[in-house]
Amino acid sequence: MNKTFITILILVIVILGGYFLLKRTEVQAPTQETSQTPVITEESPSVDQNVATNIITFTSSGYSPNPLNIRSGDIVTFKNESSVNMWTASGMHPTHIVYSGTSLSEHCPDKTNVTFDACQGIPPGASWSFKFEKIGSWGYHDHLHPTFFGKIIVE
């Protein structure tokens, strides 16, 4: 009777020991996965930093930086830090035909945002973004003050 009890007790200890040993290896596995996660998060901000560099500020002295080199598919944000409205548009003034192949009267208002033309004055403190899909050297200007102009080189 005592011998059977001891045998069962040993069996229970062995089974429980094996169970906890297995459970520990299961716990260890996700720990390795979580240690890999920060590597992925470290990559994401560097992508955001690339996007953040494509900012052109518009002040009372015009557009800066100028010219700006970007890659096809990049988004450029034009920030109006002047005290007047800013209407950024493709050359040439007044038709804006160079980037899209269509004139201002044909492509404005641009609901799909595929023509390089804000199609309206952007107020001070606001910004306007455009995604460049076409490779080339694209001159632009402020349609409201055409003496302010710049160039975006898409590679």
Report the nearest approach of Cu ion to the CB of residue 48 (Å). 32
Report the nearest approach of Cu ion to the CB of residue 51 (Å). 27
| Interacting positions 41-70 with Cu ion (CB under 5 A) | none
List the one residue out of 147, 146, 152, 145 whose CA is nearest residue 129: 152
Q: Is 93 in the site for Cu ion (CB under 5 A)?
A: yes
* CA-to-CA dists, residue 83 to 61, 71, 123, 126, 150, angstroms: 11, 31, 8, 11, 19
| Interacting positions 115-144 with Cu ion (CB under 5 A) | 143
Q: Which is nearer to Cu ion, 107 or 143 (CB)?
A: 143
Report the nearest approach of Cu ion to the CB of residue 75 (Å). 22
For residue 26, the number of C-alpha atoms closer than 13 Å in the C-beta half-sphere is 6
Q: Which residues bind Cu ion (CB under 5 A)?
A: 93-94, 143
